[in-house]
Amino acid sequence: MMRAPRLEIDLRKIHHNTGILVERLARHGISVSGITKATLGSPDIARVLLNAGVKTLGDSRIENIETMRKAGVSTPIWLIRSPMISQVDPVVTHADISFNTELDVIKALSAAAQKAGRTHGIVLMVELGDLREGIMPEDVESIVRATLDLPNVDFKGIGANLACRSGVSPDAKNMGELSALANSLDATFNFEMDIVSGGNSANLEWVFSGADTGRINNLRLGESILLGLNPLNREPIDGLHIDAFKLVAEVIESKLKPSQPRGEIKQAAFGTPPPITNQGNISQVLLAVGEQDTDSDGLIPPLGFEILGASSDHLILNAGDNRLSAGDEIAFQLNYSALLRAMTSPFVAKIYSIQ
């Protein structure tokens, strides 16, 4: 018997998605950094991204970057979340470049790099309206100047991240602002910066619309590669697989039960449950998977099944006309949030198809 719950990961589909995005963006002079954070820094997936044409990898966690380094991945890897000052030593050891917004952090990186006898690359993130990370545009020049004065750190370029906190979408205006800033910094400091990293999978629609991409020469892609989706509307991207990942869970109970609870209703494990319409008796199935393993709101059940609820360790389904018994398995598609939790849960086995 195979382990359950398990994530079945089709590396061929991930390879296909990566190759298509790398090629389509190359036509616009844009390189792809493959973002591994939703995979817990999986070296198997990292290798697939690299085989499919990605030249750099990125992750938000230094621990994931260390995992890939220990597995022998030697490609440039970018830490795409601002380093913690408490982690600058591993950051300069394992990441080639980090994304930064605080001069205090860059100073700590400089000191750590000096101590380690290394040079660490710095990309400065610019705030363009989504209000997550980023230096206010008018303050970038002074931080570039200060970075250039520090030993053992190398200013590599600028970047931005949209559509993560507030859903602000990339467009001619905000991307034009990033390009203009790159031009003005190049002129001010008399260099030509290497990297102008325009954003994440949410930028694809803007690029493929035929917009003038200006100075943008890199995107950092996670969700579009792994799930084949445009994160702005969660619609499939043309020609990409949306089912590279499947979460398989095992039935531990299957019974005809009333659709409505019996007794006085207060709070449940995860807050107040929504009201239930009475459908009489239903075929209720319990699966041995829960919020500890995935995000139940992000699971898509097979046709004919409906998710009724979840707690830490149980997922409850209306099986409709399906007759299931303990030991049977059900496979779900996952959204980004469900995938992230399943990849990071030690209770979920990861089964890779051979490439």
Ligand X SMILES: *Cc1c(COP(=O)(O)O)cnc(C)c1O
Q: Annotated active-site positions, please? A: 37
Query: Residue 230 interacts with ligand X (CB under 6 A)?
Result: no
Query: Residue 60 interacts with ligand X (CB under 6 A)?
Result: yes
Closer by beta carbon to ligand X, 65 or else 248 = 65
- Min dist CB 242 to ligand X, Å, is 14
- Min dist CB 327 to ligand X, Å, is 36
Closer by beta carbon to ligand X, 35 or else 310 = 35
Interatomic CA distance for residues 300 and 120, integer angstroms: 42
Query: Residue 59 interacts with ligand X (CB under 6 A)?
Result: no
- Beta strand pairing call for 97-100 and 77-79: parallel
Closer by beta carbon to ligand X, 11 or else 80 = 80
- Min dist CB 325 to ligand X, Å, is 38
Binding test (CB under 6 A) with ligand X, winner from 57, 80, 158, 193: 80
Closer by beta carbon to ligand X, 18 or else 224 = 224
Contact region for ligand X (CB under 6 A) — 106-114, 199-207, 270-278, 285-293?
Answer: 199-207
Query: Residue 222 interacts with ligand X (CB under 6 A)?
Result: yes
Q: Which of residues 276-305 bind ligand X (CB under 6 A)?
A: none
- Min dist CB 237 to ligand X, Å, is 11
Comparing every residue's Cβ against ligand X, the nearest one is: 222
Query: Residue 341 interacts with ligand X (CB under 6 A)?
Result: no
- For 308, what's the count of Cα atoms within 13 Å in the CB-facing half-sphere? 24
Query: Residue 316 interacts with ligand X (CB under 6 A)?
Result: no
Could you give the dihedral angle defined by the CA atoms of residues 40, 219, 225 and 231, in that order, rounded to the nearest 10 degrees?
Answer: 100
Binding test (CB under 6 A) with ligand X, winner from 223, 250, 291, 293: 223
Closer by beta carbon to ligand X, 179 or else 224 = 224
Query: Residue 174 interacts with ligand X (CB under 6 A)?
Result: no
Closer by beta carbon to ligand X, 80 or else 150 = 80
Binding test (CB under 6 A) with ligand X, winner from 14, 21, 32, 35: 35
Binding test (CB under 6 A) with ligand X, winner from 101, 174, 200, 318: 200
Q: Which amino acid is at 64?
A: N
Binding test (CB under 6 A) with ligand X, winner from 161, 213, 335, 345: 161
Angle at which helices 172-189 and 140-148 pack, to 10 degrees? 40
Binding test (CB under 6 A) with ligand X, winner from 224, 294, 296, 335: 224
- Min dist CB 220 to ligand X, Å, is 4
Binding test (CB under 6 A) with ligand X, winner from 220, 241, 341, 350: 220
Beta bridge partners of 125: 159
- Min dist CB 208 to ligand X, Å, is 14
Task: Return the closest-CA partner of residue 95 out of 76, 115, 72, 70.
Answer: 76
| Site residues (vs ligand X, CB under 6 A) | 35, 37, 60, 80, 161, 200-202, 220-224, 231
